[in-house]
Amino acid sequence: AVVNRIDVTGNERVEDETVRAYMTVQPRRAYSDQDVDDSLRALYATGLFSDVAINKRGAVLVVSVTENALIYKVSFEGNDKYDDKMLLTQVKSKPRSVLSRAKVEADTQLLLELYRRKGRYRATVEPKIIKLAQNRVNLVFEINEGDKTGVARINFIGNHAFSDSRLRDVIKTRESGLLSFIRSTDSYDPSRLESDQEALREYYLRHGYADFRIISAVADLDRERNTFFVTFTVEEGEQYTIGEVNVQSSLASVGPEELASAVRTDPGDTYDSREVDKTLEDIVLEVSERGYAFAEVNPRGERDYENHTINITYHVDEGPRVYIERIDIRGNTRTRDYVIRRELDFAEGDAFNRVLINKAKRRLKNLGFFKDVAITTQRGSSADRVVIVVNVEEQATGELSFGAGYSSAEGVIGDVSITERNFLGRGQFVRAAVGGGESTRTYEFSFREPYFMGRRLSAGFDLYRRQYEETDYRSYEETTTGGNLTFGLPLNEEVQLNLTYSAYQRDFDVADELKDGCYMRKYNRGDPIPRSCDRNGDGKFDRNLDTDEASLAVKDAIGETFTSIIGYSLIYDTRDDIKRPRDGYYGKFQQEFAGVGGDVAFIRTTVEGRAYREIWADRGIVGMLKVKAGHIESLDDRLKLPDHFFLGGETIRGFGTKGIGPRDGMTRDALGGRYYIAGTAEATFPLPAVPSEIGLEGALFTDAGTLVDVDDSANFFRRVNVVGDNGDLRWAAGFGVIWHSPFGPIRADFAWPIVKSKWDETQVFRIGGGTQF
């Protein structure tokens, strides 16, 4: 058909010219029905019109349109949980844009969904349209939020191995209760229910329940009381221990025995899905090193129902031969490309291997720079090529934080610190902190580059100045100013070698100064008190100072000493979580050589070992064994007091600070020792009575240890009555309460010495905490 003119009717705001521009039909040229359809679709696509009709009248094509009204203003009423500004950004209908029935409907659903996510299931949203002159409207969303739909009760059906309270700890949804005003996790959120089920499955699979199944997770709403009852029905199945384990490989030159070393699931262990995953990872790495970069490893379990064992066979075979064509990094508006790219073990051109991708994802998440990391793949330019897209969602990595704490030794202490973990998007760590208390002043600055010279080798330095005034526990003032340089060389995923150089200037002084004829003893509370005076100026003091005098050993150390140390340490760390470890080991062997310049020379060797294990998973009890030992040997004439080891309440609870070991019988000053050994056995458990969301944990522990062999080779020691240097084992036991507060863990311990030496200083109660940095 052909028309020689196109007329447009019904338009007010949009010009005829604009409507014609969108149409594929042109005057005096043939057009088909298809052109009409295309034009209709194009006109609707502009969103300007609520209705379009095209019909031919003789030689004229008439396009009659009804324009969508124009929104003058969008407003919300009755909204409290979300402010207007935020809602305005969410809804599609914007001021000055065109009103469309579909958009308003979509906005209403969107608002309801937003309120469901805040746990407001009773919320209602009413869109109201108010006509204005010139085909304009006001759009008002009348919202009635209704009060919070809490979660009255979470219960589990079918769980025998783990108690309801233990499982409630595993999932994130909480019962509304005491702290519901500050927490949002106690309101019902369907998406969180999904992740709760995943958490339950993962928990059971880690504790041997290979057949675990969630039959249903139901949340039914009690309308009147506006609360939810969440019920998880589970089928635990049996707890399996591992029977035989073998590896079958279809790869020509790789025999199963060669892969046996990579298997972590040993016969007799309880089945643990994490160990299976780690085994998959190790086998793939082992096999890809032999050139089979495309290997795939699939575990298959045969269950033996009588004696509840599961035989695992790892099938290793050739996966699809796909290469990585490109790796595109997206979403990094702050972090630089290479900071992300260097965490990937694979590069462009390498073989595509799913296991290495999961490992990279884990590594990127551990950086702590990203809220979320998603690695997806897209088809490459040919069948055997794939493009990997690493999409990151960045989060704030800078913190300005205030810490406050109380420690029995230093009284109230507080600090202010600024930390940036991703400095200038280069992955560098920078921290500056100022701290103080009644008797302390600390200033610290530290910087660390995780990839020094482009290698996975961290290099960093710290500068600090710490002033400790004299207190009831310390009869001297000590100001240390110094810095250290550390290189961290990871040898493999678990073992790291650190090389350190540190140098510090220590200014050591005793507090008594002579003022108008009297020796003034400074105490940290109140101004100095005259202790012994020479009223008439004849040089004789009214009291013999010696009794309260600081120990000669302390006086011997008065003055400034500069110490310069090089050292190395080997660290082995397989703890599952640094803040609250439940499983894994930590070992450290360190040797330091002072005497590279400086005034003192010694060799100091320390060793530490810690083992964590979940001894009773059901009650959430975590056991920890710790052993620490140290030896220091002077290389020049003798070891001065401050360089000795000191042992006390911070390691063997139940004793005072520096409460153990050799002491000056007269002045009771601790003299320190050259050997020490200390051990701890502790069990921590969530307090049964207290709801777990408050974060209170109890602990039962026993500490033991000793400190011996003060260096008394100096001749002044002939006049010092050294006591307590007998090396018997001190032993104490007690209990503690830990509160994982929003400010960080705060811990109070009550411990009683069972075996102690007459000269030791004891202290039953000790508290410490504030933000741990």
Partner 1 sequence: CFGRTYTHGYVVTQETLDQVPMGSSRDQVLLTLGTPSAIGRSGGETFYYISQTREKMFEFMQPEVVDQRVLAVYFDDENRVREIGNYGLKDGRVFDFISRKTRTGGADYGFLTQVLRGAGNLTPAQGQLPQ
Partner 2 sequence: CSTKEEEFDGTPADQLYNQGLALTNSGKFSKAAQQFDKVEKEHPYSRYSQKALIMAAYTNYTSGKFDDAIIAGRRYATLHPTDPDTAYALYIIGQSYFKQIPDVTRDQKMTEKALAAMQEVVTRFPESEYADDANRKINITRDQLAGKEMEVGRYYLERRNYVAAINRFRVVVTKYQTTRHIEEALARLTESYYSLGVVSEAQTAAAVLGHNFPDSEWYKDAYTLLREGGYKPDEDKASWISKAFSRTGLI
- Positions that interact with partner 2 (CB under 8 A): 12-15, 17-18, 21-22, 46-48, 70, 72-73, 75, 77, 95-97, 128, 130, 132, 134, 136, 138, 140, 142, 325-326, 329-338, 341, 347-350, 425, 454
Choose between 20 and 465: whose C-beta lies nearer to partner 2. 20
**What is the distance between the alpha carbons of residues 355 and 278, in angstroms, rounded to a whole number?**
10
Which partner in partner 1, partner 2, none is near 360 (CB below 5 to 8 A by kind)? none
Report the sign of the C-alpha dihedral through residues 179, 180, 184, 186, in that order: positive
Q: Which two tokens mark 99?
A: 């009103």
Binding residue (CB under 8 A) for partner 1 from 288, 561, 651, 771:
288
Whole-number minimum distance, CB 130 to partner 2, in Å? 5
Whole-number minimum distance, CB 326 to partner 2, in Å? 7
**Percent helix, percent strand, percent coil in the chain, to nearest 5:** 15, 45, 35
Whole-number minimum distance, CB 350 to partner 1, in Å? 6
- Which ranges constitute the DSSP H helices of 91-189? 101-117, 164-170
476, 554 Cβ separation under 8 angstroms:
yes
Q: Strand, helix or coil at 185?
A: coil
- Strand-strand pairing, 309-318 and 241-249: parallel
Choose between 138 and 165: whose C-beta lies nearer to partner 2. 138
Choose between 450 and 654: whose C-beta lies nearer to partner 1. 450
759, 661 Cβ separation under 8 angstroms:
no
Candidates 52-60, 492-500, 551-559, 732-740: pick the segment binding partner 1 (CB under 8 A).
Answer: 492-500
By rule CB under 8 A, what string of x and - marks binding of each residue 329-368 to partner 1?
----------------x-x-xxx-----------------
**What is the distance between the alpha carbons of residues 684 and 618, in angstroms, rounded to a whole number?**
13
Choose between 283 and 340: whose C-beta lies nearer to partner 2. 340
Rg (CA), the chain: 36
Binding residue (CB under 8 A) for partner 1 from 384, 513, 633, 636:
384
The torsion angles phi and psi of 259, rounded to 5 degrees, stand at: -95, -5
Choose between 49 and 759: whose C-beta lies nearer to partner 2. 49
Whole-number minimum distance, CB 318 to partner 1, in Å? 6
Which partner in partner 2, partner 1, none is near 41 (CB below 5 to 8 A by kind)? none
**What is the distance between the alpha carbons of residues 679 and 733, in angstroms, rounded to a whole number?**
12
Binding residue (CB under 8 A) for partner 1 from 220, 266, 289, 516:
289
**What is the distance between the alpha carbons of residues 28 and 1, in angstroms, rounded to a whole number?**
9
Which partner in partner 2, partner 1, none is near 489 (CB below 5 to 8 A by kind)? partner 1
Binding residue (CB under 8 A) for partner 1 from 321, 354, 362, 515:
321
Choose between 29 and 456: whose C-beta lies nearer to partner 1. 456
**What is the distance between the alpha carbons of residues 214 and 469, in angstroms, rounded to a whole number?**
61
**What is the distance between the alpha carbons of residues 738 and 725, in angstroms, rounded to a whole number?**
34
Choose between 278 and 580: whose C-beta lies nearer to partner 1. 278
Which residues between 242 and 271 bind partner 1 (CB under 8 A)?
251-253
Q: Where does residue 79 rank: exposed (0-12), middle (13-18), buried (19+ CB within 10 A)?
A: buried
467, 458 Cβ separation under 8 angstroms:
no
User: Which residues 6+ apart lie within 8 Å of 473 measured at CB?
Assistant: 409, 656, 657, 658
Candidates 127-135, 357-365, 380-388, 748-756: pick the segment binding partner 1 (CB under 8 A).
Answer: 380-388
Q: Which two tokens mark 645?
A: 């080891």
327, 340 Cβ separation under 8 angstroms:
no
Whole-number minimum distance, CB 231 to partner 2, in Å? 42
Choose between 459 and 552: whose C-beta lies nearer to partner 1. 459
User: Which residues 6+ apart lie within 8 Å of 722 measured at CB?
Assistant: 662, 663, 664, 665, 671, 710, 712
**What is the distance between the alpha carbons of residues 557 and 307, in angstroms, rounded to a whole number?**
69
Number of residues this chain uses to bind partner 1 (CB under 8 A): 32
**190-206 and 273-289 helices cross at what angle (nearest 10)?**
80
Choose between 95 and 688: whose C-beta lies nearer to partner 2. 95
Which partner in partner 2, partner 1, none is near 401 (CB below 5 to 8 A by kind)? none
Choose between 102 and 615: whose C-beta lies nearer to partner 2. 102
Given strand 513-515, what is the order of strands in its sheet? 513-515, 518-521, 529-533
Whole-number minimum distance, CB 50 to partner 2, in Å? 16
Choose between 485 and 489: whose C-beta lies nearer to partner 1. 489
User: Which residues 6+ apart lie within 8 Å of 492 measured at CB?
Assistant: none
Candidates 88-96, 97-105, 126-134, 288-296: pick the segment binding partner 1 (CB under 8 A).
Answer: 288-296
652: number of Cβ within 10 Å: 28
Binding residue (CB under 8 A) for partner 1 from 162, 240, 271, 292:
292
269: number of Cβ within 10 Å: 14
By rule CB under 8 A, what string of x and - marks binding of each residue 700-729 to partner 1?
------------------------------
By rule CB under 8 A, what string of x and - marks binding of each residue 443-462 to partner 1?
-----------xxxx-----
Candidates 262-270, 289-297, 547-555, 589-597: pick the segment binding partner 1 (CB under 8 A).
Answer: 289-297
Choose between 332 and 606: whose C-beta lies nearer to partner 2. 332
Whole-number minimum distance, CB 75 to partner 2, in Å? 7
Is residue 133 close enough to count as binding partner 1 by CB under 8 A?
A: no
What's the start-to-end Cα distance of the chain, in Å? 80
Which partner in partner 1, partner 2, none is near 341 (CB below 5 to 8 A by kind)? partner 2
Q: Which residues bind partner 1 (CB under 8 A)?
A: 251-253, 285, 288-289, 291-294, 318, 321, 323, 345, 347, 349-351, 382-385, 454-457, 489-493, 495
